Chains A and B, each alone.
Chain A
Amino acid sequence: MIHRFKRSIISLRTHESAPLRIVGDGLIGTQGVGDGRMIPVLILDTAERPDVPQYLALHAHSGAGDVRVQWGQLPQFADTIILILTVLRPAELTILIAFELPKKHGVLVDQILRAKGLYLQAGSPGDRLANTMDRPRVLVEVADTNFQAHWEKIYYKFTVARLRKEGLTRTDAKRVAKQAITAMRDVGDFRFPPTPQSAVETNGF
């Protein structure tokens, strides 16, 4: 257990209960979207969730939507942060996205919180943003749900633990963790200048 969350029960349909894995990621910065913020793109493995590509196709048709977001953790998934997207329009479905911290997904969570949004894209293992730029994707606004303060602790503790595993002393790990987080945030805070859409592929942290 990485951090103590407040317990709550959410109702899900059977096929919605398994969190979707992130199989690819990247950043898209567009001057006309979110004031040029670098917004993370999550390519999700939707092999078991045909309703997700269907939702993305419907959104492309309607052009507008309504999504509620909530951060959390599932008891059976250690070292994983879950983003719960309750889609209300143009389709009704719930999507759980698993951010596996050992797989360097912490940088994505951090960037989503800083950019206040994310792009969702359906895909399969092996997909990369650079070769799937023409696929439909949905921009989801991620409002502040008071998760930021929890996340600061989780991210820092996890980064320290990771650096300790790599052989640093406790004092050095704490110092380097702060520096590493600040450096990653400096990169993520870049705002794209007024040019056509551009994409940057990342490797996570």
Chain B
Amino acid sequence: MWTDIVSAVAAGIALFLSVASLRQSGRSLRISERQEARQQPNLIATLDAGDYTTANEGGDRRYRIAFSVQNRSDADNAVVRAELRLTYRLPEGILMVARVQASPESGLPFRLEARDSIRKECQFSVPATIWQHRIEAYTVELVDTYDRAMTMDPILLSERRA
């Protein structure tokens, strides 16, 4: 009789321990998954300001785009490329998309340590063959080490007078 009671108590304890162990492993798994997720590249780019200057009629127009980049990941990253995409309309009505690389003085690529943020300014030299047409839209595209692209869409860019 008493052996049955002892067995039942032991089985109850074993069940309690297994449930506790299961919950503990579930918790550990969730922590480890969260840690893994935090290691994934996660850059956020925010547009701060943008304008342009034109040296002379028929010359290049120099666009200046200032932006901030936050690295929300636990892993280091870098921005390796910046491009200004200009959507413009040719006189015949065809919509054209041009990609202009950031000028060498823009300081690319730049490194971003884990959980760090940085403010940068990139310059883009846009030839008259583009800006003399009717520009419809701008997009700034940043590409990180993992080939992930982030975009910012300046809506109105104004000319900066000297």
Contact = CB atoms under 8 A, between A and B. Distances in A.
Interface of A: 13, 15, 50-51, 54, 57-58, 61-62, 64, 88-93
Contact of B90 (A50, A89, A92): A50
B97 A58 contact: no
Interface string B118-151: 0000000001011000000000000000000000
Given A51-B96, A90-B100, A61 B127 contact: yes
Nearest to A15: B94
B129 A61 contact: yes
Contacts, number: 40
A158 to B, nearest CB: 35
B57 interface: no
Nearest to A61: B127
CB-CB nearest 3 A-B residue pairs: A92-B97, A61-B127, A89-B99
A15 B94 CA distance: 8
B38 to A, nearest CB: 33
A62 to B, nearest CB: 7
B44 to A, nearest CB: 25
Contacts of B95: 13
A89 B94 CA distance: 17
A90 B98 contact: yes
A91 B97 contact: yes
A130 B121 CA distance: 46
Of the listed residues B90, B92, B99, B101, the one surrounded by the most CB atoms of chain A closer than 10 A to its CB is: B99
